[in-house]
Structure 1
Amino acid sequence: MVTARSEAQETGVKEEIPHDHLFKVTGLSSTNLEKLAQEPEPSDFEEAIAATGYGKFNIALMLCSLPAFWSSVSVTSSTSYIFTRAQCDMGLSLLDMGTVTAMTYGGMISSAMVWGFLSDTLGRRKIMVWGFFCSGLVEVAAALSQNFPMLLVTRFASGFLFNGPFAVLISYIAELHRTELRARIILLTSLFYTIASTTLPLLAWAILTKEWDFTLFNSLTFHSWNLFLLATALMPLLTGLVFLCLPESPKFLMSRGRNEEAMAVFRKIYTLNTGKPVEEFPVKTLVEEKNDQQGQGLAALRGGWAQLAPLFKPPHLKWLALVCMIHQGCMFGSNTIRLWYPQLAAMIGSDSKTLCSAIAPANQPLGDETCVPIATDMLTYLQSAAVGAGSVLTYGIGGILVNRCGKRVVAGFCNVASALMIIMMPFLGNSAFAVVAMVTAALAFTSLCGASLSSVIVDLFPTSLRVMAMSTFLMCGRLGTITGTVIFPALIEYGCLPPFLTIGAVLTVCGLACFLVPNTTLKKLE
């Protein structure tokens, strides 16, 4: 007994020494050290979002996003449908119509950098809620327009306000899906664009074909086109209200050091997707993403510029300039035709004219006494709906061809093919059906070209420069749209051929330039 007790005492003494030593070094008792040893490693964002699964929350998120994508099409395209009616009410020329359309894109370009900074400072949810809602209020103001200057100002303001929250939405959707689902989800959003492009002309048919004219408060005169703009303004308003029900992006919360709030969001998503209680969420702690280098205000801007400066220096500068130039020309052609097509379709459909004979009378200025609104029927808007739906098949075929033929080959071929379609329009546009077929084919080709170039941008630049490269890429595309929508009516003054030949020439040059882009097919991301 004595021997056993002495051995136990010696053993106890031996065990106490390392515990005392660890307490001096770490400041933790042996009990706390044992608990710490049993705690799991902190999980990063990718592990946490993957643990939430896929289910009701993700489906609800996509349903809430549908009106946002519909709003994107209506904000940029709704004015294209009202010109057949509004040109007489406001005395608009073709150049005025192009200017109105261009002002929306001008507002988008002017606010690109502002929204990017605010979204990283204030958070995703606040920008989406207030941005969409305020954009809807400006759309309502546009619907109340009584003169050309007011319409111009409201279209610019609408583009300014809408651009930021919609760009943030894309990041928000990506941040709420695990890695292997992100590409599919972003591809699914292309279907939302198609739905919007198909249903918007049907809404225009339901409203613009009616002879509605009335006055409120003895000062506000409403026509059918005012009501159409008012109807489209309801979507961004609805989007802003719906997004009140969505949580803040957990990725943003983690980047700002708000891990407890991020964990609450993860647990809520987990419960909605799986139906299990929050206590069963497998992730218990999150890694600390916030670091001392993150700044605020001017310090954040200086740090951001230091990080992005390599994008505008060799070797990235030449590839950025080349791809942006190609995309600018691509959007110069495709968006010009897309945004002007409703007006052209109305001209052709009014008396079953050929394309060139329908355009010819537009050379003469409209007078208030002789102005007669262009008569439109259901067929005119069904043609626009068919054009909007034409890209569905293209995305399916393009998904197969891109990996087999290469992205630059697909982009180059699509640009040249689109150019041929547009050049043939003045010569073969002898009927409304022929014009619809050629416009649908041209826009389908340019849509696939734009998707291929977007993929090239993703592959061509490293992660630290990818977002800024994509923003520059999109901005150049909008500059091309502005240029095209203004130049197109100016070229019509010189006849039927100049506008279509100019667009065809630009698309051909851009198509040939695609073969100068590096081959990035199946290239791993840097």
Structure 2
Amino acid sequence: MVTTRDTEAPANREEIPHDHLFRVTGLSSSNLEKLAQEPPADFETAIAATGYGCFNIVLMLASLPAFWSAVSVTSSVSYIFTRAQCDMQLSLLDMGTVNAITYGGMIASAMIWGFLSDTLGRRCIMIYGFFGSGLVEIMAAMSQNFTMLLVTKFASGFLFNGPFAVLLTYIAELHRTEYRARVILLTSLFYTFANITLPLLAWSLLTRDINVYLFGQEFVIHAWNLFLLASAMVPLMTGVAFIFLPESPKFLMSRGRNEEAKQVFKKIFILNTGNRKEDYPITNLLEEKSEQQGRGIAALRGGWAQISPLFKVPHAPWLFLICVIHIGAMFGSNTIRLWYPQLAAMIGSDSNKTLCSAIDPTQAPVVSDTSCIPIETDMLTYLQSSIVGAGSVLTYGIGSLLINRCGKKIVAGFCCVASAAAVLMMPFLGTGSFSVAAMVTAALAFTSLCGAALSSICVDLFPTSLRVMAMVTFLMCGRLGTIAGTVAFPALIGFGCFPPFITITAVLAAIGVACLFLPNTNLKKLE
């Protein structure tokens, strides 16, 4: 007599895992067969399956101090000149050199960081880079002379460049295609937050008469030293924050470390959806590279072979074009931004009522070894700087809505031309501190949006194995523009009020037209 139980017995026995495949994989033969039939998922499919939620919010919050650090590391010294000018006997050229030297350090380390992050990973670069930059910033805060400040700011830029270039790539690689451009654009609002709060921090400390003497009279802590020390805490916080975030799964896949990438996807899935890791729908990832080439010395040995295509056709022409555009954008944007605190203080003084009278070389304050009177500043001076920093909020909000509809290159080109128009009006309409603040606000808002759009284009334009190196080269060229602008500005002032502003206008207008020749990368998937 054959029972139902006997009939089903062979089928049950067939499902029982008893061979070496189960011992190795933990899966039965039938499950392995199903897995083999399932096509492997690429990165875009895998990251889309994680959803959008708590993890993405945590990522953005962890990025906030990083963007704040980018402003404080590069801009904090521009606020101290009203006080440190007399303490260190600084000339206008000295001020321009200190403003530029941080960017010099960034340029010096650009290729090193790009090579390491594209071969060894994103996360460790961000942790050690931000933390190390914070420690050097503390040393800069203790500066007692021009030379010490110059050396420490160079070292800070050297260390800070890598992790910040990696950060933009890291954020892009943790968002799916339809969110990527908007997220990179919205993270630029963190610049705005920093540009609002940094002047307020400067006002709270730099308007006070603080002089603390240590070791007799040899070591003095002024108010501006405390301001730099407070700013140095933010990079340290950033390094600690990224300890708790995972490695980029896109980088792991590109190095053949698919199992590690899968675990990262599952963690993101759990945080975003609240479901179990077993519910993550992707079980097999596309093989992008052999694991033997994915770690340690092997990765370093293959590094140059990996990044060399960046400097060859078809990538080299696009890299050259976008870097030239970024040089011009930062020449205009950072020159105005870094010199504005000093200009605002000069315009606010009793003897200077207009922009041109403030920067007229015949009326510039003479600094001598025997007497020096620091420029007096008040709350209004720093409040205007905060308003200038806040001006980008509206343009970023509008830009995030238009960037996918109009195209990134159109947004970038329009913003450069609009910024050029605002700069051109400054010497003609700058008849008071408020009118100058309004035009500077408009110019910086447009150039900031232009820079964010260019960054998004650069991220989309190059494949994973070249992305950070391309981003580092892109940022390095922008910093060349910053150095040229901050040093050229005081030199051009020597010829009168109009030459510096006409030069900046011409550069911004030219790169606005050049943006039209960039490729269209709207909604482009990461390679």
TM-score bucket of the superposed structures, by smaller chain:
0.7 to 0.9
Given that 2:328 and 2:507 are in contact with CA atoms closer than 8 Å, whether structure 1 keeps it comes out as yes
Q: Which secondary structure state, in structure 1, belongs to the residue aligned with residue 349 of structure 2?
A: helix
Q: Which secondary structure state, in structure 2, belongs to the residue aligned with residue 350 of structure 1?
A: coil
Given that 2:109 and 2:161 are in contact with CA atoms closer than 8 Å, whether structure 1 keeps it comes out as yes
Among 24, 28, 34, the residue aligned to 2:30: 34
Given that 2:184 and 2:456 are in contact with CA atoms closer than 8 Å, whether structure 1 keeps it comes out as no
Partner of 2:358: 358
Following TM superposition, by how much is the alpha carbon of 1:521 offset from its aligned partner in structure 2, in angstroms? 7.4
Among 91, 111, 114, the residue aligned to 1:113: 111
Following TM superposition, by how much is the alpha carbon of 1:72 offset from its aligned partner in structure 2, in angstroms? 1.0
Following TM superposition, by how much is the alpha carbon of 1:408 offset from its aligned partner in structure 2, in angstroms? 5.1
Q: Which amino acid aligns with 1:432?
A: S
Among 92, 95, 111, the residue aligned to 2:93: 95
Cα deviation digits, residues 418-437 of structure 1 (max 9, x gap): 23322322222110011011
Q: Does 1:230 align with 2:226?
A: no
Q: Does 1:135 align with 2:126?
A: no
Following TM superposition, by how much is the alpha carbon of 1:297 offset from its aligned partner in structure 2, in angstroms? 7.6
Given that 1:205 and 1:381 are in contact with CA atoms closer than 8 Å, whether structure 2 keeps it comes out as yes
Given that 1:407 and 1:519 are in contact with CA atoms closer than 8 Å, whether structure 2 keeps it comes out as no
Partner of 1:347: 346
Given that 1:135 and 1:162 are in contact with CA atoms closer than 8 Å, whether structure 2 keeps it comes out as yes
Given that 1:459 and 1:520 are in contact with CA atoms closer than 8 Å, whether structure 2 keeps it comes out as no
Partner of 2:247: 248
Q: Does 1:386 align with 2:387?
A: yes
Given that 1:406 and 1:519 are in contact with CA atoms closer than 8 Å, whether structure 2 keeps it comes out as no
Which structure 2 residues correspond to residues 475-514 of structure 1 after superposition, within 5 A?
A: 475-514=476-515
Given that 1:391 and 1:443 are in contact with CA atoms closer than 8 Å, whether structure 2 keeps it comes out as yes
The 3 A distance-change label for structure 1 pair 340 and 274 is same
CA distance in 2, matches of 1:385, 1:235: 19
CA distance in 1, matches of 2:435, 2:196: 19
Which structure 2 residues correspond to residues 200-279 of structure 1 after superposition, within 5 A?
A: 200-218=198-216, 219-279=218-278
Q: Does 1:166 align with 2:164?
A: yes
The 3 A distance-change label for structure 1 pair 448 and 258 is closer
Among 53, 56, 61, the residue aligned to 1:55: 53
* Number of residues of Structure 1 aligned to a counterpart in Structure 2: 508
The 3 A distance-change label for structure 1 pair 126 and 458 is closer
Moved more, 313-322 or 153-162: 313-322
Following TM superposition, by how much is the alpha carbon of 1:487 offset from its aligned partner in structure 2, in angstroms? 0.9
Given that 1:353 and 1:431 are in contact with CA atoms closer than 8 Å, whether structure 2 keeps it comes out as yes
Which structure 2 residues correspond to residues 303-318 of structure 1 after superposition, within 5 A?
A: 303-306=302-305, 308-313=307-312, 317-318=316-317
Q: Which amino acid aligns with 2:335?
A: T
Given that 2:185 and 2:396 are in contact with CA atoms closer than 8 Å, whether structure 1 keeps it comes out as no
Moved more, 187-196 or 44-53: 44-53
CA distance in 1, matches of 2:413, 2:253: 42
Following TM superposition, by how much is the alpha carbon of 1:68 offset from its aligned partner in structure 2, in angstroms? 1.2
The 3 A distance-change label for structure 1 pair 436 and 311 is same
The 3 A distance-change label for structure 1 pair 523 and 161 is closer
Moved more, 45-54 or 351-360: 45-54
The 3 A distance-change label for structure 1 pair 403 and 286 is closer
Moved more, 46-55 or 181-190: 46-55
Q: Which secondary structure state, in structure 2, belongs to the residue aligned with residue 111 of structure 1?
A: helix
CA distance in 1, matches of 2:227, 2:137: 11
| Greater RCO, CA 8 A, separation 6+ | 2
Cα deviation digits, residues 115-145 of structure 1 (max 9, x gap): 1222234432222222111111001000000
Q: Which amino acid aligns with 1:378?
A: M
Cα deviation digits, residues 441-475 of structure 1 (max 9, x gap): 12222223334444555666677766544433322
CA distance in 2, matches of 1:184, 1:62: 13
Q: Does 1:432 align with 2:433?
A: yes
The 3 A distance-change label for structure 1 pair 460 and 258 is closer
Following TM superposition, by how much is the alpha carbon of 1:328 offset from its aligned partner in structure 2, in angstroms? 1.2
Cα deviation digits, residues 152-200 of structure 1 (max 9, x gap): 1111111111111122222322333344333332222111111111111
CA distance in 2, matches of 1:475, 1:386: 28
Partner of 1:371: 372
CA distance in 2, matches of 1:416, 1:179: 28
The 3 A distance-change label for structure 1 pair 272 and 404 is closer
Partner of 1:415: 416
CA distance in 2, matches of 1:403, 1:176: 19
Structure 1 portions without partners, runs of 5+: 5-11, 13-22
Partner of 2:520: 520
Partner of 1:7: none
CA distance in 2, matches of 1:270, 1:408: 33
Partner of 1:20: none
Q: Which secondary structure state, in structure 2, belongs to the residue aligned with residue 145 of structure 1?
A: coil
TM (normalized to structure 1)? Answer: 0.85
Cα deviation digits, residues 101-124 of structure 1 (max 9, x gap): 111111111111211222234432
Partner of 2:16: none
Q: CA RMSD in A?
A: 3.6
Given that 2:111 and 2:473 are in contact with CA atoms closer than 8 Å, whether structure 1 keeps it comes out as no
Moved more, 348-357 or 427-436: 348-357
Given that 1:363 and 1:492 are in contact with CA atoms closer than 8 Å, whether structure 2 keeps it comes out as no
CA distance in 1, matches of 2:410, 2:30: 61
The 3 A distance-change label for structure 1 pair 175 and 413 is closer
Q: Which secondary structure state, in structure 1, belongs to the residue aligned with residue 348 of structure 2?
A: helix
CA distance in 2, matches of 1:414, 1:395: 11
Given that 2:101 and 2:153 are in contact with CA atoms closer than 8 Å, whether structure 1 keeps it comes out as yes
Which structure 2 residues correspond to residues 392-407 of structure 1 after superposition, within 5 A?
A: 392-399=393-400
The 3 A distance-change label for structure 1 pair 75 and 299 is same
CA distance in 1, matches of 2:52, 2:405: 31
Partner of 1:126: 124
Structure 2 portions without partners, runs of 5+: 3-9, 11-18
Following TM superposition, by how much is the alpha carbon of 1:496 offset from its aligned partner in structure 2, in angstroms? 2.1
CA distance in 2, matches of 1:395, 1:171: 20
Following TM superposition, by how much is the alpha carbon of 1:282 offset from its aligned partner in structure 2, in angstroms? 4.0
